[in-house]
């Protein structure tokens, strides 16, 4: 598994971004995928998780209703669609994979593989 997150950028409050998590190793379909973020001066936060089949998803309360996680196993890619972005969503976003079907998804230690992050900046 070789993960890389893409799609970050600068957006105004209320805008949208779609992040992609691509596995160039071609085995992401065997793993659940979690999304995390780390804002300056803050702890890393588990944002969302999607099971291997995509049938089960989880969201942190801070993003629930504004974020949708999905995946395309044929493309070894997971997505994080973020809408109604707020300045407090500004962070580096990371994707990671685990084989616990999102068990304890907010707990970073449950993830084996991590990708390089992508910066999301939301201006007010």
Cβ(106)–Cβ(50) below 8 Å: no
CA-wise closest residue to 96 among 83, 87, 106, 84: 106
> What pLDDT digit, counting tens, does each position of 45-93 carry?
999 999 999 999 999 999 999 999 999 999 999 999 999 999 999 999 9
Task: Name which residue leads in pLDDT, 90 or 25.
Answer: 90
What pLDDT, on a 0 to 100 scale, did the predictor assign at position 1? 82
Please report where in the chains the tokens 């044929």 appear, as a residue: 74
Q: Which SS3 state, helix, strand or coil, does residue 84 take?
A: coil
């Amino acid at each position: 598994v070789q993960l890389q997150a893409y799609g970050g950028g600068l957006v105004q409050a209320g805008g949208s971004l779609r992040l992609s998590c691509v596995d160039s190793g071609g085995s992401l379909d065997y793993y659940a995928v979690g999304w995390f973020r780390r804002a300056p001066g803050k702890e890393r936060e588990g944002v969302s998780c999607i099971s291997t089949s995509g049938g089960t998803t989880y969201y942190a309360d801070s993003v629930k209703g504004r974020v949708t996680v999905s995946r395309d196993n044929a493309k070894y890619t997971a997505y994080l669609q973020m809408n109604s972005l707020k300045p407090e969503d500004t962070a580096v976003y990371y994707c990671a994979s685990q084989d616990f079907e999102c068990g304890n998804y907010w707990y970073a230690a449950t993830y084996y593989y991590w990708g390089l992050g992508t910066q999301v900046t939301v201006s007010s």
